[in-house]
Structure 1
Amino acid sequence: MRKTALSAINVVWFRDDLRLADHPALSAAMADTHVPTVAVFVLDEESEGIRPLGAGAKWWLHHSLVDLSKDLDALNVPLVLLKGPAAPLVTELVSKLCTLFGLPANGLSMHWNRRYGGGERSVDTEIKAALRELGCSVSSYSGTLLHEPWVVKTKEERHYKVFTPFYNALLALPLRPEFPAPERAQEQLELDGLRAGSSSDDLESWELLPKAPDWSAGLANAWTPGEGAAHERLALVLDEVAAGYLTGRDRPGSDETSRLSPALRWGHLSPVQVWEALGALAAANREAADGARAIMRQLAWRDFCWNQLYHQPHLHQQNLRPEFDGFDWSWPTTVLPVPGSAGAASGASVSGSGESEPGQAIIDELYTAWCRGESGFPLVDAGMRQLWQIGWMHNRVRMVVASLLVKNLGIHWRAGEAWFWDTLVDADAASNPANWQWVAGCGTDAAPYFRVFNPVLQAKKFDPHGRYQAQFAPTLSHEPVVDLKESRAAALAAYEHMKQSARSGEALL
């Protein structure tokens, strides 16, 4: 380990791609094992447009960074941790590396896999310009989606707003090549001088783990964050889950879904890795082919959600169908986080939050009962308690609990999306709001508003023996907080009123 001058250093900025294999930026940086590489991760919750992480995501991130640091160390790559606004921190890191190792700016190369959220893109553009002005080389790569948002387009060069034609177009496109994990670098740089100058943070100082109280025992029992565990789960999916996925994916009481969403959200697996593995399985195993292709379709849906976010950066704040701006949803007084508060995940206040409205106390009680799993509907309450216990919820149940909140309780989808954002370990900036808008009916390719999931009928159909309900909500004694028939009728009436109001507005124009 030397501290003498070098001719070149590569820096890899990790983001939501916490892995070694099939990491285009890391592979490019480490193509020449004689050039030392430094990795950096920045916890940026301060830059404009960046959405702060929820509690479940913070727990996962902490353990993922511990795992990543060990894996990088085996490659002779030190990991620098920085917390704060990324633009000044990354620029400062580059300058200090050049100073520490006597390196001219044009001897340092920065590599990262591209991000697609509006705030993240703005930060990356600013940093790229600043580093290039210093004389550094900056290269970005496609590493987090099957295809980048500007690639899958209609014949008119527009982005798709409906999933099925998007999916068909995606199938016709070739994937980028898959990259193996890089070889070990010849040497590892000693960064004590950098850390002594307070340029690197200690992970413990970030306080990502809950302490008072520590509610994470269920998460630790259910999950092992990191690349190694993700590959083990993928192997299980290929060997055991895929063959029965078409029917098993709707049964929440058994382990018959992929459960790969946290690994994809944090980039322990790339979607290309999963797609290629499932494609190979479908080609080789007739019994598993349909299930494998069904999971591949879910990967394409993930790309579709990111396409929506890329073209609609305020996806978690605004209805994609503007006529729903006039829908008479209720809003609870307190949401996690409170809209408009400092550090709010929603990023903006909601007009008409309604503390003075009649019946506000009832709205607050309904929302609290929903969050706590005390709605009186066993399938819903089991789902909400599963969410709290392990930071994850079965996808079928996600649709049911979301439908109950938005349509039967009449509460804005953003209040539910904010709760999921805070509690899910797989809280994804695109999929979470896009799926909520799908259920609420206000998305571009959404379920029709009149599709209301009946939690009683859903339980009879998909959890007929009550296995799921017994696992997560075995001693429920709450009365239903709402009459399903009456609330459905009220929701449909409100929907018709919204449509008529929208038509009246169009007529006036």
Structure 2
Amino acid sequence: MTRPALLWFRNDLRLADNPALMAVADRPILPVFVLDDDAAGAWKHGGAQRWWLHHALASLGADLSRRGVDLHLAQGDAAIIIPALAAAVGAEDIHVAQRFEPWGRRQDEAIATALKSTGRRLVRHRGTLLHDPHALRTGQGKPYQVYTPFSRAIFAAGEPAPPMDAPARLHPVANPPAGATLDLLPKRDWAKDFPKHWQPGEAGAAKRLAAFGTRALAAYDGARNIPAIPGTSGLSPHLRFGEISPRQVWHAAREAGATGSHTFLKEVLWRDFAYHLLFNRPEMPEAPLAEKFAAFPWQPNPKYLAAWQRGMTGYPIVDAGMRQLWATGWMHNRVRMIVASLLVKHLLQPWQDGQDWFWDTLVDGDLASNSASWQWVAGCGADAAPYFRVFNPMLQGAKFDPEGTYVTRWVPELARLPKNLIHQPWEAPPGLVRDYPPPIIDHAFGRARALAAYAAIKGETA
């Protein structure tokens, strides 16, 4: 008789192209998801992620049921729950997708050790990234610190293996134990509009990929920077929860053969690069990778932070992005850079505060991508934007939202303004703008102050 196995779902909530699932598809299995907030600590799922996870698990559970098995849900210490479940169903091996978050790696090692003492084993599969972070090295045998040579190395390595189809039928273990109900949805339904924008789950990911398609990829090089149009794929939350694999995305883009495919795949590779950084620099979510920034003279100000969070900074492109984030759990990538620059440079707020707000409000909140991106904007990460590059929010708005379509969608207070004033409403005649604040800080003053702060840690005179 074939021995049963435990299939531990974590960041791979899909059936197609799931190496851990394929390794046990012909055996009796108990599929399991464990919500372990204590192990994750500060990096437990944020509020928007929890909304997504609730629906993603419901979708995964339904997909599994149609194939003959039920998803077992549990909450608590996975280091206790997983070995106990393995013993209860007689599973000698537990199959999982690899994790690269520092807390997840520590937990995996502890669980692997505990299982080994009972004659069981934890089998980890590559299913969340295109390349293992510990395997890719420069010609000098060191981790990559710069994105461009990293991406070139991956392109030069050849095409990833083609994705695998989902199994048509799965086999349950005998007498599976009863699971729990997870309490993931918000008590106050601030996420009520999320379903207008998202369909969590593997089917939603497939629809999103299909809708992106050849036509969108053909226009991607230019359209990806325009927040008023759907010029990006919208796949980031599906990739974050593993409802679609990077191999599926890669091969779909290759098969489309559109002019923007290469640019799009470079964006997909940024996610791999972020995990490469996190694996080799596990302090990245908490500490600057550039050591000189440990002495940066941040000026924490709760009023500044709150105005930024609410989308009330007086800079329209920034406020539109922050309100889009609150309403949809997502923000256009170009706008993410603009809002982050205002917070850490004009306002001198610690990048960790912005990172934490994104972690709680983004449905695609991903520890590696989130922390790498915030450090990039702040100028303190690997291959970061120069700190002296301070985005001008008026020019950025005029360049990427010239008609004001994006701004007026999310900041309706400005809808009466002519487009030449949309991005600088303080210049409008009295009466055209109501209930909208003046700029929280003067752009020129904020820029000069940021440059002076940077000069201070370099030991220079601004």
Fold conserved between structures, TM > 0.5:
yes
CA shift, 1:268, in A, is: 0.7
CA shift, 1:190, in A, is: 5.5
Picking from 240, 245, 267, the partner of 1:265 is 240
Q: Does 1:236 align with 2:211?
A: yes
Aligned partner of 1:55 in structure 2 is 47
CA–CA distance in 2 between the matches of 1:429 and 1:89? 24
CA–CA distance in 1 between the matches of 2:7 and 2:196? 32
Q: Does 1:20 align with 2:27?
A: no
CA–CA distance in 2 between the matches of 1:501 and 1:128? 51
CA–CA distance in 1 between the matches of 2:136 and 2:103? 22
Q: Does 1:384 align with 2:322?
A: yes
Deviations along 1:372-411, one digit per CA (max 9) or x if unpaired, are 0000011100100000000000000000000000000110
Aligned partner of 1:148 in structure 2 is 132
Q: Does 1:46 align with 2:72?
A: no
CA–CA distance in 2 between the matches of 1:405 and 1:191? 54
8 A contact 1:44–1:50 mirrored in 2: no
Aligned partner of 1:128 in structure 2 is 112
CA shift, 1:108, in A, is: 2.9
Moved more, 378-387 or 170-179: 170-179
Aligned partner of 2:71 in structure 1 is 79
Q: Secondary structure at the match of 1:430?
A: helix
* Structure-2 change in CA distance of 1:425 and 1:318 (3 Å): same
Q: Secondary structure at the match of 1:485?
A: helix
* Structure-2 change in CA distance of 1:135 and 1:501 (3 Å): farther
Amino acid across the alignment from 2:12: D
Amino acid across the alignment from 1:382: A
Moved more, 165-174 or 303-312: 165-174
8 A contact 1:391–1:425 mirrored in 2: yes
Aligned partner of 1:325 in structure 2 is 294
CA shift, 1:136, in A, is: 2.1
Deviations along 1:158-212, one digit per CA (max 9) or x if unpaired, are 1000011111111122424422112302x434546x22xxxx2113xx2x1112x
CA shift, 1:244, in A, is: 0.6
* Structure-2 change in CA distance of 1:258 and 1:414 (3 Å): same
Q: How does 1:374-413 map to 2 (within 5 A)?
A: 374-413=312-351
Q: Tell me the TM-score normalized by structure 2.
A: 0.92
CA shift, 1:155, in A, is: 1.2
8 A contact 1:36–1:77 mirrored in 2: no
CA–CA distance in 2 between the matches of 1:156 and 1:45? 39
Gaps of 5+ in 2: 415-435
Amino acid across the alignment from 1:180: D
Picking from 396, 400, 414, the partner of 2:352 is 414
Moved more, 88-97 or 440-449: 88-97
Aligned residue pairs total 439
Q: Secondary structure at the match of 2:320?
A: helix
CA–CA distance in 2 between the matches of 1:138 and 1:432? 28
Aligned partner of 1:173 in structure 2 is 157
CA–CA distance in 2 between the matches of 1:137 and 1:487? 55
CA–CA distance in 1 between the matches of 2:78 and 2:13? 17
CA–CA distance in 1 between the matches of 2:245 and 2:200? 15
Moved more, 18-27 or 107-116: 107-116
Q: Does 1:498 align with 2:457?
A: yes
Aligned partner of 1:202 in structure 2 is 181
Gaps of 5+ in 1: 1-5, 99-106, 283-287, 332-362, 503-509
Q: Secondary structure at the match of 1:134?
A: coil
Q: How does 1:426-505 map to 2 (within 5 A)?
A: 426-475=364-413, 477-500=436-459
Q: How does 1:297-376 map to 2 (within 5 A)?
A: 297-331=266-300, 363-376=301-314
Amino acid across the alignment from 1:209: L
CA shift, 1:414, in A, is: 0.4
Amino acid across the alignment from 1:44: D
CA shift, 1:49, in A, is: 6.0
CA–CA distance in 1 between the matches of 2:18 and 2:42? 23
Aligned partner of 1:341 in structure 2 is none
Amino acid across the alignment from 1:418: D
CA–CA distance in 2 between the matches of 1:180 and 1:369? 47
8 A contact 2:7–2:20 mirrored in 1: yes
8 A contact 2:2–2:28 mirrored in 1: no
8 A contact 2:162–2:251 mirrored in 1: no
CA–CA distance in 1 between the matches of 2:111 and 2:240? 24
Picking from 51, 59, 70, the partner of 1:67 is 59
CA shift, 1:47, in A, is: 1.7
* Structure-2 change in CA distance of 1:136 and 1:256 (3 Å): same
Q: Tell me the TM-score normalized by structure 1.
A: 0.84
Q: Which runs of at least 4 in structure 1 moved beyond 4 Å after TM superposition? A: none
8 A contact 1:49–1:118 mirrored in 2: no
8 A contact 1:437–1:443 mirrored in 2: yes
Question: % of aligned pairs identical?
Answer: 44
